[in-house]
Chains A and B, each alone.
Chain A
Amino acid sequence: QVQLVESGGGLVKPGGSLRLSCAASGFSFGDYYMTWIRQAPGKGLEWISYISSASNSPSTKYADSVKGRFTISRDNAKNSLFLQMNNLRAEDTAVYYCARMQPLDYWGQGTLVTVSS
């Protein structure tokens, strides 16, 4: 069955960096667009980035709130999705989910990122 498992969350100071991973199984990972979505405490779902299925130079897209600070990438050989988060801010505190597109039919369990001094 399809499974997505995020890891890499934790506590980080403002201005710091963190790299999230999403391990995929149960489907042909390389055939699908993948996305990261987050939910800040008490807030709704916020799409932050997606990456196309192309093996060579996949296209990427970012929400304005993370553009220039976050980088999405994938390793189709390892069935893995990544989110490199730099220059983190307090407002980046959230549960981060990876999901298969589209529609967003499978989601991981989420990983908590807390940005605080």
Chain B
Amino acid sequence: QSVLTQPPSVSAAPGQKVTISCSGSSSDIGNNFVSWYQHLPGSSPKLLIYDNNRRPSGIPDRFSGSKSGTSATLGITGLQTGDEADYYCGTWDSSLNWVFGEGTKLTVL
């Protein structure tokens, strides 16, 4: 089953912008929508982005998503200390399994 590649960690200062990449293949990201999840310590994961770039109601526009070919990117602007969390991308693969990225730990310095 596929595994999507994410950087283990990213960091930036409060107020700055950060991007998190998610790399896959034509068997997963290349032919399916990507979603992004925020997992704060002690909480359940939360949907941030779906269908590559759509935000659920209640998610601020500081969070954005994009996809190009077999890669997707999550962008977060105006970083806040409360954004410190693990972030995961997810999509379907060609065998109709759901796959997650390896996860990226965001540190707001």
Residues of A bordering B, CB below 8 Å: 35, 37, 44-47, 50, 61, 63-64, 97, 99, 101-110
Q: Are B46 and A44 in contact (CB under 8 A)?
A: no
Question: Could you say which of B33, B44, B96 contacts A110, with CB atoms under 8 Å apart?
Answer: B44
Q: Taking the complex as formed, is B23 at the interface, i.e. its CB lies under 8 A from any CB of chain A?
A: no
Question: Could you say which of B37, B98, B102 contacts A35, with CB atoms under 8 Å apart?
Answer: B98
Q: Are B44 and A45 in contact (CB under 8 A)?
A: no
B44 contacts across to A, CB distance below 8 A: 97, 107-110
B35 contacts across to A, CB distance below 8 A: 102-104
- Pick the 5 closest A-B CB pairs, nearest first: A44-B103, A103-B50, A103-B35, A107-B44, A47-B98
Q: Are B98 and A50 in contact (CB under 8 A)?
A: yes
Q: How far is the CB of A12 from chain B (nearest CB, A)?
A: 23
Q: Are B45 and A45 in contact (CB under 8 A)?
A: yes
Residues of B bordering A, CB below 8 Å: 1, 33, 35, 37, 39, 44-47, 50-51, 56, 86, 88, 90, 96-103
B97 contacts across to A, CB distance below 8 A: 47, 61, 63
Q: How far is the CB of B106 from chain A (nearest CB, A)?
A: 14
Q: Are B100 and A105 in contact (CB under 8 A)?
A: no
Q: Are B96 and A105 in contact (CB under 8 A)?
A: no
Q: Are A45 and B50 in contact (CB under 8 A)?
A: no
